[in-house]
Amino acid sequence: MPTESIALLGEYVVGSRLPLNDALNYAIGVWQDTPIVSVSLSRHEPVAARTTNGALLVATRTTDIGWAFEMDEPLGLVEVVELAKPSTSVPWRRSAKLGDGRTVQFIDVPLMFEEVVVE
């Protein structure tokens, strides 16, 4: 995820998964005193509430609701030296080659939210 998309990193509580679609998982939560929609690429056990780690995203639109992206296995800050071309089916999900030679999944969060956020 590009660091310029992140306003804050932290832990927050979300409710159960919303039945919106199968590609992404959505839940309503609260970050400090701000209501948020939390988006995850992973399915989680159905529970009334759970604590998760994620990134509160930089607001690109004026709204009373924030958006957060859950991070199940954060790597920390890394140097991306090369991004693979996006696929046509999911353009916001790519492979990234890191400075240390590893290849990891890279989520272009701003592009993903352009696709999923309805004004």
| 75 lies in some domain | no
pLDDT at residue 22 greater than cutoff 70: no
pTM check: above 0.85: no
Contact between residue 72 and residue 107 where contact means Cβ atoms under 8 Å apart: no
| 110 lies in some domain | yes
Name, in order, each residue with C-beta under 8 angstroms of 44's C-beta and a sequence gap of 6 or more: 17, 25, 50, 52
Residues 51 and 100 both lie in one domain: no
What is the domain range of residue 24? 3-70
Q: What is the pLDDT of residues 27-46, one digit of tens each?
A: 889 888 889 888 888 777 77
Residues 14 and 66 both lie in one domain: yes
Tell which wins on pLDDT, 119 or 26: 26
Residues 95 and 43 both lie in one domain: no
Residues 62 and 87 both lie in one domain: no
Residues 59 and 8 both lie in one domain: yes
Contact between residue 108 and residue 3 where contact means Cβ atoms under 8 Å apart: no
Which pLDDT does position 97 carry in this prediction?
94
**Three-class SS state of 57:** strand
CA dihedral sign of residues 93, 46, 9, 76 = negative
CA contacts within 13 A on the Cβ side of 99: 4
Residues 93 and 59 both lie in one domain: no
Residues 54 and 21 both lie in one domain: yes
Confidence of residue 77 (pLDDT cuts 50, 70, 90): confident
Residues 46 and 65 both lie in one domain: yes
Q: What is the pLDDT of residues 88-102, one digit of tens each?
A: 788 888 889 999 999
Count of domains for the chain: 2
